[in-house]
């Protein structure tokens, strides 16, 4: 999915296009509800919903149908900017919650209720959040892993974790977290001798403290990454079923005019910083919203 508007625009200006890697000749153009004059800021996309924010009001827009949900407004004691939003489960699921993050606080709204809860944060700026084995895990700006606790009270304790000395050498970008079956992976983009490559590590929970263990292959899996870490990452088993490739990583292009909106790169493949099409990922983040992946089965069920 791609958006052509800046990250702080009237909600009614938001337009996007959905494209399917398995059916590249088909696409669907969508837009937010008209006559909504609110100027909104993008906080993320979670379980098929754009999470947008303006002056203590959230707007949740279904990327497939463009329908909009407005949770109850909330007041907060923290004046710092809210920068991240994520659902704990699909909006239609029982006990689904919307979490928002500012520099000092985490805010929680349980779907269907009329009130928000807030909890002070001691972690760094949240970089990415994933759902893994029934838990919400957050990686912060210092690349520490934290577990988000919703009950009996909000909290985010740090998960003790060991990093190998070679894991930060040549690291170009903050890593991605990706759930692959029953594994949590950390995907790095590293540089070696003017070339760069993707490397993957799995979280080994069999030891304490837990550690990241390097993986040479992904097996019969492919991974899907977006440049904006507030958008979900995905994995796919046996991607050959739809024309994809195992052991490959699919990264969305920044250019909206490209005939191929994504690039495929094999795990561990070295790429030239100057000539490879994916070298754009090394540049500065633009003001436009980045394209990102959405997965219908997470919203509408596995058979849709």
* DSSP H helix total and E strand total for the chain: 1, 25
Under 8 Å between Cβ of 171 and 190:
yes
Model confidence, pTM: 0.86
DSSP E strands, 13-48: 15-20, 23-31, 39-46
From first to last of the 304 residues of the chain, give the pLDDT tens digit.
444 444 466 777 788 888 888 787 778 888 888 767 678 889 999 999 999 998 888 999 999 888 899 998 887 777 778 999 999 999 888 889 999 999 888 999 999 888 898 888 877 889 999 999 988 999 998 888 999 988 777 788 888 887 765 665 545 568 999 999 999 999 998 877 778 889 999 999 888 888 999 999 999 999 999 888 898 999 999 999 989 999 999 988 765 545 677 888 999 988 876 656 665 565 556 556 778 888 876 555 444 4
Contacts of 99 (CB under 8 A, 6+ apart): 85, 86, 87, 88, 106, 107, 108, 129, 136, 148
The CATH number given to whatever domain includes residue 53 is: 2.130.10
- Count the domains in the chain: 1
Domain ranges, residue 50 = 2-300
């Amino acid at each position: 999915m791609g958006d052509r508007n800046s990250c702080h625009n009237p909600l009614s200006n938001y337009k996007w296009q959905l494209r399917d890697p398995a059916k590249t000749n088909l696409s669907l153009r969508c837009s937010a509800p008209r006559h909504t004059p609110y100027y909104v800021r993008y906080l993320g996309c979670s379980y098929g919903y754009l999470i947008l924010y303006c002056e203590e009001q959230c707007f949740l827009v279904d990327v497939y149908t463009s329908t909009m949900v407005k949770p109850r407004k909330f007041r907060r004691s923290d004046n710092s900017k809210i920068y991240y939003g994520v659902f704990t489960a699909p909006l239609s699921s029982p006990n689904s919650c919307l979490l928002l993050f500012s520099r000092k606080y985490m805010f929680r709204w349980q779907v269907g209720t009329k009130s928000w809860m807030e909890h002070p944060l001691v972690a760094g700026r949240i970089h990415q959040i994933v759902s893994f084995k029934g838990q919400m895990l957050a990686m912060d700006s210092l690349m520490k892993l934290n577990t988000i606790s919703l009950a009996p009270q909000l909290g985010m304790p740090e998960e003790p974790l060991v990093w190998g000395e070679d894991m930060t050498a040549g690291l170009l970008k903050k890593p991605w977290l990706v759930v692959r079956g029953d594994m949590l992976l950390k995907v790095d983009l590293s540089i070696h001798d003017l070339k760069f490559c993707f490397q993957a590590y799995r979280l080994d929970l069999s030891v304490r403290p837990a550690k990241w263990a390097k993986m040479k292959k992904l097996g019969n899996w492919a991974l899907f990454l977006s440049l904006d870490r507030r958008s979900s990452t995905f994995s796919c088993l046996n991607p050959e079923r739809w024309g994809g490739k195992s052991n490959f990583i699919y990264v969305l292009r920044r250019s909206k005019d490209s005939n191929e909106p994504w690039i495929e790169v094999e795990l561990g493949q070295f790429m030239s910083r100057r000539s490879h099409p994916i070298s754009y990922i090394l540049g500065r983040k633009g003001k436009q919203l980045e394209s990102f992946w959405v997965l219908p089965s997470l919203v509408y069920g596995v058979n849709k």
